[in-house]
Structure 1
Amino acid sequence: MKIPRLIPHDLSNLVVLASVWTVFGLADMIQSEAGIMASVAMGLTLQREAVPGERQLRRFKETLTIMGISILFVLLSANLRIESVRAEGISGVLTVLLIMFVARPVSVLISTWFTELTWREKILIAWIGPRGIVAASVASLFAITLESIGMIEGNRLIALTFLTIAMTVTVQGLSAQYLARFLGLQSMEGRKAIIIGAGRFGCMVAKILTDHGRPVALIDTNMHLSECAYRDHLEAINGNALEEEILEQAGAEEGETLIALTSNPEVNVLACQVAHETFGISRAYPVLINPERGAGPELLKQTGGKLAFGRAFDIHSWEYNAGFRLNRFEWEVPPTWLGTMARNIAFPEDILPIVRLKDNSAEVVYAEQVWQPGDKVVFLSKQPEKTAIEMLDALGV
């Protein structure tokens, strides 16, 4: 793996997989059941080394894991007859409800009695108890063992287990997010916004998002700008946003939004592409200066990005011109804007729509965004607030 010329990039995943199988097979030949331990030892050894393309291997591993679990579920459920599940009837459903609402909460309460967990955290843990492949595998093994010693009721164990899996995954799995939100335990990392560019304009955008409950991390190659952002109580990272390690440090693995605000539009688009393809960030917004030259709309479509703030603009004039201060204000969307895309509104050059506020959420304004009833917009303006509002009132759509 460390010598790229020996292993083509396209085959690296398969070579690693074949190596694991080889180690597993050789260990099993030497000592029965030693293959799993040898594979684990191989993984621990590789983990200590700097493996090129490690993220690609991790994604491949996750794909194999999902595929393997899915196939295993199909194989295990092949022995299950729907009639046997129906035969459990109301008593089976009551048994599962007893597990969900009595056995699980009691076990969690006992096991967390002397811990520092709050009552909210204990409630969430008690509720989140979906069963899965482990329960199905063990139940199938027990059923086979019971039938081998003459207990013909072994199949009931499989039926009850799959009924438990279906009910817990459906009820608890689908409701866990809402319960966590109700208890105030939902992590904000999943709503994190990463801003590339820690200059004056980038810090203003970051403060708007943080003031409305969005965690933000700024990335900049300029150490001075990163330190200034940090002194303004913003999370700032000094580094190149095109490097996966820097994006990972900023929280891209769990992040939801990336905004690229550098003065180089090609870098902005490339950063959005890396974030989208490597980390699966669905909302990537680059700033473009002149779409007709260099990076343009067609390139945005290919990279999964959307034009930030509704239009192209010269970020230099917002970032480096010290002759004015940036004013921030909120403005409710008028009825004439409803159903109109942000790119179709001719905002004055001195006014930029930054964030849309709706239903206690703050989302970055982008070109294809359609204004809806109840929307409020946070603007940045080079003009005084009163003048800017008068200019917006004078707009027609």
Structure 2
Amino acid sequence: MDNILMVLMLIGALGVFSQWLAWRTRMPAIVVMSIIGLIAGPVLGLMDPQDDLGDLFRPLISIAVGIILFEGSLNLDFREIRGMRKPVFRIVTIGPLLAWISGSLAAHYVAGLSWAVAFVIGGIFIVTGPTVILPLLRQAKLKPRVAAVLKWEGVIVDPFGALIAVFSFEFIQFLTTESVEFSAVIMFLLASVVAAIIGVIFGYIIGWSFERGAVPEFLKSPVVLVTVITAFVVSDMIMHETGLLAVTVMGMTIANMHISSINDMRHFKENISILLISVIFIMLTASLERDVLLSIFDTDILMFILLMLFVIRPLTIFVSTIGTNLEFRERLLVGWIAPRGIVALTVSAYFASILIDAGYADAHIMTSLTFGLVFSTVLAHGFSIGWLSRKLGLSMDDKPGVIFVGSNKFSTSFAQVLQGLNIPVIITDASSSRLTHAKQAGVPHEHEEILSEQMEYQLDMTPYDFMLSVTEYDSYNTLVSSTFKPEYGKEKLYQLPLQADAGDSLSSVSHHISGTVLFSDDVTWTILNEKINDGFVFKKTLITKEYTYNDFLDDCDAEDILLVMMRQSGMLDFYSPEKQILIGEPGDLVISLAKPKPQNDSE
């Protein structure tokens, strides 16, 4: 027991550390997790989770994969793919079929596998699951169209990889073994339909009970989590590997019911999924044996991996999207990005043992082949997606963008200054009259309530790293901060300081729900807009070796307001009393709201 607890503690610590290290180094998280898992397992021998956890190993991974798939499918709202349904439909139907057939042929003729093993592994390799796709999409900041295609493919196709592998095995058993009847194949197909029905029923039960207040707020997340596990286990008991289909359908059902508490469930599941993805990658890579790693470098395996990367995947996408509205550059990126992940590893390990027991001796290389493809695609696609998407013009600007919630003279003028520095900006407001400032200034704007559900589909927030709530209403600013804190984090979510005389009486509001205070404790909405009316100007000051930051501070007037510092790297540091004092370095640009100079000033 003590040994199991120690291993679980080490797995969790390494998983979270991997995510933190990836954030600090700006490397793909899945790459960091894989490397740390290999170092902790086969390289240093600190642990072997499969051996240490024993019978708990596979159930833990299976349930974790089910939860991750549910979290991914919870984002599959059909409104997201308006105008994109044809290419998405083709890629999740024709694409997997082509990938299965071509991958199986390659496994037989190139990797030298028997037809039985080749068709099983060909089915497994059609998956590009959310465990690897979703982190890459967040990292690369892809434009909405291509991001939607990759996300839908990753989530929808994931369970079908396992199902196709099961179908291949059952069908081959029927063809080659007299004891297996065709009824077994029919039973598998029926079990898959039953799993989908279970997913729909469980999804509707959750949606119906939540909308009618049958479940209190504090129990909603636990109820969802337990229901997901129940749907997965019940379906898996009927037929192995159908649980993944059940939880995927369940998530899609809830997502398209448009229930009001959907965002709370998403935030909870995202936090759970990040932890589970980290833990599972560490567990799987740390459990690999050294001979498995060395066998990856066999010529047949390397040739198969190269064929999957550079021929089969691009060909599959280009053929399946013929006649769709996907541009050539979009098809090129989608045809390259196809990292395999947890589902491929877990299903492959399961079928390797099953096939070996059934007498297919060549199945012993399935684990090596799978890990070789997983690790190769994780490395190749993890490091190339950002570079390639920028080259093809399919990623957002590298500079951090800013959303201004609330249109007024100050926010419009400030956004105009940032826009002049090529920083993506947008102003949102529910009032058309207040947006007049933004319209006249030519600043990008959105006439929509930022807190409405429709806003999620009206505005792609990917380009915007910071959100500034700058309305005149303290309570509204605080509500916006509280709503978007799970997505942005407090360090990138700002709001104006409370106005003591505004009548909101929010001085006792917990800092846990409010955003970071902007600029200074006494620089309120009223003061900022009064200064604009009094002729204060936005001043941009470049810090150099000759003109230091201290020189700049000495030259500032007592009424000047320091707004933001644009670092030489392009990052933004907003001034705030809640942060440590900013120190400018040569190359940094300081933007301030400065008192106008007297007209008789010679300068």
Q: Which amino acid aligns with 1:313?
A: V
Uncovered stretches (5+) of structure 2, i.e. residues with no partner: 1-209
CA distance in 1, matches of 2:280, 2:569: 42
2:414 aligned residue (177, 202, 205): 205
CA distance in 2, matches of 1:121, 1:389: 56
Q: Which amino acid aligns with 1:383?
A: P
Q: Which amino acid aligns with 1:255?
A: Y
CA distance in 2, matches of 1:276, 1:141: 40
1:310, 1:366 within 8 Å by CA — same for their partners in 2? yes
1:169 aligned residue (340, 359, 378): 378
1:219 aligned residue (428, 444, 448): 428
Instruction: Write out aligned runs for 1:3-152 (5 A).
Output: 3-4=212-213, 6-20=214-228, 46-47=254-255, 49=257, 51-65=259-273, 80-89=288-297, 91=299, 92-93=301-302, 95-111=304-320, 117-118=326-327, 120-152=329-361
Deviation of the 1:87 alpha carbon: 2.8
Deviation of the 1:57 alpha carbon: 1.3
SS at match of 1:194: strand
1:354, 1:379 within 8 Å by CA — same for their partners in 2? yes
The share of aligned pairs that are identical, in percent, is: 24
Q: Could you say if the C-alpha distance between residues 387 and 371 of structure 1 is closer, same or farther in structure 2, counting changes exceeding 3 Å?
A: farther
SS at match of 2:540: strand
Q: Which amino acid aligns with 2:348?
A: A
1:370 aligned residue (565, 583, 596): 583
> Whose relative contact order is higher, 1 or 2, with alpha carbons under 8 Å and at least 6 apart?
2
Deviation of the 1:206 alpha carbon: 1.5
1:191, 1:257 within 8 Å by CA — same for their partners in 2? yes
Q: Which amino acid aligns with 1:373?
A: P
2:519, 2:562 within 8 Å by CA — same for their partners in 1? yes
Q: Could you say if the C-alpha distance between residues 174 and 310 of structure 1 is closer, same or farther in structure 2, counting changes exceeding 3 Å?
A: farther
Q: Does 1:157 align with 2:369?
A: no
Correspondence for 1:393: none
Deviations 1:270-321 (A, max 9, x none): 5434322355464123233779x9878x989755844434674244244256
2:557, 2:595 within 8 Å by CA — same for their partners in 1? no
2:542 aligned residue (332, 337, 359): 332
Q: Which amino acid aligns with 1:376?
A: L
2:543, 2:590 within 8 Å by CA — same for their partners in 1? yes
Deviation of the 1:105 alpha carbon: 4.1
Deviation of the 1:134 alpha carbon: 3.6
Q: Could you say if the C-alpha distance between residues 329 and 118 of structure 1 is closer, same or farther in structure 2, counting changes exceeding 3 Å?
A: farther
Correspondence for 2:87: none
Q: Which amino acid aligns with 2:367?
A: I
Correspondence for 1:308: 518
CA distance in 2, matches of 1:187, 1:27: 41
CA distance in 2, matches of 1:388, 1:310: 29
Q: Could you say if the C-alpha distance between residues 281 and 238 of structure 1 is closer, same or farther in structure 2, counting changes exceeding 3 Å?
A: farther
Q: What is the RMSD computed on CA atoms of the aligned residues?
A: 4.5
CA distance in 2, matches of 1:301, 1:332: 34
Q: Judge which range, 206-215 or 120-129, deviates more.
A: 120-129
CA distance in 2, matches of 1:190, 1:93: 38
CA distance in 2, matches of 1:38, 1:168: 27
1:350, 1:383 within 8 Å by CA — same for their partners in 2? no
SS at match of 2:379: helix
Correspondence for 2:561: 352
CA distance in 1, matches of 2:312, 2:601: 61
Correspondence for 2:127: none
Deviation of the 1:55 alpha carbon: 1.0
2:432, 2:447 within 8 Å by CA — same for their partners in 1? yes
Deviation of the 1:3 alpha carbon: 4.5
TM superposition score normalised by structure 2: 0.52
Q: Does 1:186 align with 2:186?
A: no
Q: Which amino acid aligns with 2:586?
A: P
Deviation of the 1:190 alpha carbon: 9.0
Deviation of the 1:371 alpha carbon: 0.9
CA distance in 2, matches of 1:27, 1:145: 20
CA distance in 2, matches of 1:25, 1:118: 41
1:257 aligned residue (448, 451, 466): 466
Deviations 1:23-56 (A, max 9, x none): 6777889x76887777666556544545342211
SS at match of 2:263: helix
Q: Judge which range, 40-49 or 252-261, deviates more.
A: 40-49
TM superposition score normalised by structure 1: 0.74
SS at match of 1:155: helix
